[in-house]
Structure 1
């Protein structure tokens, strides 16, 4: 720090800060767009005022740009195809490019004792550019006893895979730190396990994330589809029909009402699933939250590449319209990505529909897609983007008001947006471990140009700061 700056700060500490963002159009959820200067000190927002004359170690001119609360991606798979000590680096880097300041990992451990999470937490330290939190997938009955332990560790959300059972019971687990290859496991989410997770989760006031699909229905359709030699993403959608989602929504809702649970439905992309959740929500006695993903807003099953294979599948044009409508009208609470950090040689299997793996990367394109297709496409407002990518997520998962808003005392997790910047999405631009994107070649208008995590600039003009590696911290949630 220069002598002149030091002298300035000594004269009036109340009128000094580490960083001053000037001429900002701050998008403050539930308030609106506020023209102000944002003073940041010790990683937090110090003041929001018009035309502040504060001395600062660094000034950032945000004229002509929106400043949003940093995006929180509630649905990220990393640590599955590369161990967490490597995956954290590549995927948090990609997140920073996309304006994401907190990523929430869907952890899948097969151990009978969830105290094995300690190794994952240790290996995650020092490996992230941005902040991170964890959802614990409960995959076997022996793990249910550890739900109170997980809460004490700051992991207060649980994932239920209702889609695992019957002949569809194989899933890849997270690797041990330093381990390579893939780790396969069998999961049978029977009624007894389902009930015990919801009961204990509700008792601990945990949020229960639900993958709602009926595996018996899907398994039968897939068996027939293979016999008939079906191919293409329309076949994949037909083999995992929206009705199987609706059936599972009704089933888990009965348990949710019985125990008074907080149910959070992940990756909802069909009109049938939306209708089923709304019908159950009206019955009361449980809290309902709905997440969708960018792919359900941009792609239909007419997409010609198997890279678009995902669970649940991308659907019809009318489903896409329904999801946009629900997002615009406040029915959908959050947008997550269901980001999977895999590569084409793993993803594509033998190149056919049935051997290809489900899932693809998406953490860096979440905001650009919502800005291009949503705001610049006149479908949703910039205020709505801030709500569904940050504010609602922070509130649902116990991070608010440290995260999810722009106000005095909150973490300085901020993303500066240039609504006119048009860039072609490419794997190189997105900087993930993945070497492909379903948006490859798309010209998206509206991109983050600066990402700040707790007062540290981790990305500027597409370049991720190397000295920011290790800045990301674990966010423990009560």
Structure 2
């Protein structure tokens, strides 16, 4: 069994920042003690050690919202699980949580098996959320299978009715009641479809279809309305609810309103809603900044950072959905551009440089939002998201002084571009360790398919 000693680092987790040495045997953390405590072991020929020289040691970063190998509008996203996981590992990410498409017959076991087959090339570990687009007696019964295949959460859409993703709002109450019985967490893409369809008709009638109209059609009011409607349904059922990719000040105001009413509501936001604004949709490369929900104003950016500072948002995630430039430029219409951008690889560096670096959050809080909270909320803790003895040795070694300009050439997504090109960061991951194995250090070192599915326990939000 391989042994690895990480010494002279600054460990950062939900307990704080402390100067310990960490001993790994096989895939697990087996000891964490004050610096120098393992000096007698360094004579062991079977021991490998890394002198961190004061660098930070984080529990492996978890991106709780990714879309690898996503089929959309007749094409497939550029990052499959192998390419996407290499990019993730290069950014210090050791686990992602992706999605399983809804099986209309409710055969969740088959859908899980098919999606797992796609994921088996990953070099990092993974779990899944199950998408739900309908609810009846058959699906209600088969939701029990999600517990058997160890999924902790489902996702519903309040938009994309034309594409068939949207769950009828008349089904919220019965679905939430059943999810509460099973202790399965509902996560939600929250945008009011009726308002969006009404606005879309107005803009199309006026022949206004350029990318810049996207934020007007998918207005922040649509997010606010959907969040409130879902929160009210969750309150009646007394179930926790989680809003994915919160994008606007209006959306966050709705969340605060619901919390005051007693709703147990949690949110994630993404770096692009904190750092990019809708002026980018007016440029010649506007398609490269196109996602749903759309980019908002710089005012929204600031208000979301303030919400992060006030602990009103629980998780940073990316909604990584990478398409190549060729795919993105297939259309110039706001109603046809493939939505999605690459993001997992730059998640940690951006949140450190622009979150911690600009004093919006502490280092410890950043790790809560990038590792501890995703693990707890989605049932992976303490196997993931922890530096405690017995946890998986998923670790990110981070150099706070390493400066880097982000470019397509030094990033790894198959999209071959980044919406953060030319962003300057100070602080970058230098070694990524997954279950005791160094999987990235200057280049990928992991065997294709060495990642694993991680069974999820019940979300901490039900405890």
Match of 2:7 among 16, 22, 28: 22
Contact 1:139-1:189 within 8 A present in 2 as well: yes
Match of 1:272 among 220, 226, 250: 250
Q: CA deviation at 1:376?
A: 2.4
2-structure distance, mates of 1:326, 1:231: 32
Match of 2:219 among 216, 236, 241: 241
The aligned counterpart of 1:5 is none
Structure 1 position 435 matched with structure 2 position 416: yes
Structure 1 position 60 matched with structure 2 position 50: yes
Structure 1 position 151 matched with structure 2 position 144: no
Contact 2:322-2:413 within 8 A present in 1 as well: yes
2-structure distance, mates of 1:263, 1:89: 31
Q: CA deviation at 1:302?
A: 0.8
Contact 2:211-2:333 within 8 A present in 1 as well: no
Encode CA deviations 1:310-342: one digit per residue, 9 max, x unaligned.
111111111101111111221110011000032
Q: CA deviation at 1:421?
A: 1.6
1-structure distance, mates of 2:410, 2:52: 23
2-structure distance, mates of 1:125, 1:110: 18
Q: CA deviation at 1:204?
A: 0.8
2-structure distance, mates of 1:294, 1:232: 24
Please give the secondary structure, in 2, of the residue aligned with 1:331.
coil
Distance change >3 Å, CA 433–CA 460, structure 1 → 2: same
Per mean C-alpha deviation after superposition, the further-off stretch among 402-411 and 119-128 is: 119-128
The aligned counterpart of 1:472 is 451
Contact 2:270-2:319 within 8 A present in 1 as well: yes
Contact 2:132-2:167 within 8 A present in 1 as well: no
Please give the secondary structure, in 1, of the residue aligned with 2:64.
strand
2-structure distance, mates of 1:130, 1:203: 32
Matches within 5 A, 1:142-181: 143-165=139-161, 169-170=162-163
Matches within 5 A, 1:336-347: 336-347=317-328
Please give the secondary structure, in 2, of the residue aligned with 1:76.
coil
The aligned counterpart of 1:7 is none
Q: CA deviation at 1:258?
A: 1.9
Please give the secondary structure, in 2, of the residue aligned with 1:282.
helix
Please give the secondary structure, in 2, of the residue aligned with 1:223.
helix
Structure 1 position 289 matched with structure 2 position 284: no
Q: CA deviation at 1:474?
A: 0.5
Q: CA deviation at 1:84?
A: 10
Q: CA deviation at 1:146?
A: 2.2
**TM-score (norm: length of structure 2):** 0.90
Match of 1:120 among 114, 119, 125: 114
1-structure distance, mates of 2:116, 2:440: 25
Contact 1:85-1:127 within 8 A present in 2 as well: no
Contact 2:68-2:84 within 8 A present in 1 as well: yes
The aligned counterpart of 1:259 is 237
2-structure distance, mates of 1:292, 1:393: 12
The aligned counterpart of 2:89 is 96
Structure 1 position 230 matched with structure 2 position 212: no
2-structure distance, mates of 1:295, 1:84: 19
Matches within 5 A, 1:413-432: 413-432=394-413
Q: Which runs of 5+ in 1 are unaligned?
A: 2-16, 171-185
Match of 1:220 among 173, 177, 198: 198
Structure 1 position 108 matched with structure 2 position 87: no
Distance change >3 Å, CA 121–CA 164, structure 1 → 2: closer
Give aligned pairs, total: 441
Distance change >3 Å, CA 114–CA 85, structure 1 → 2: farther
Encode CA deviations 1:163-216: one digit per residue, 9 max, x unaligned.
132xxx21xxxxxxxxxxxxxxx2342123333322221211111101111011
The aligned counterpart of 1:361 is 342
Q: Supply the RMSD in Å over aligned alpha carbons.
A: 2.1
Encode CA deviations 1:254-292: one digit per residue, 9 max, x unaligned.
2211222120100002111111111112222x4211100
Q: CA deviation at 1:83?
A: 7.4
Contact 1:232-1:306 within 8 A present in 2 as well: no
2-structure distance, mates of 1:215, 1:131: 34
Please give the secondary structure, in 2, of the residue aligned with 1:141.
coil
Q: CA deviation at 1:121?
A: 4.9
Structure 1 position 453 matched with structure 2 position 434: yes
Per mean C-alpha deviation after superposition, the further-off stretch among 151-160 and 43-52 is: 43-52
Contact 2:65-2:97 within 8 A present in 1 as well: yes
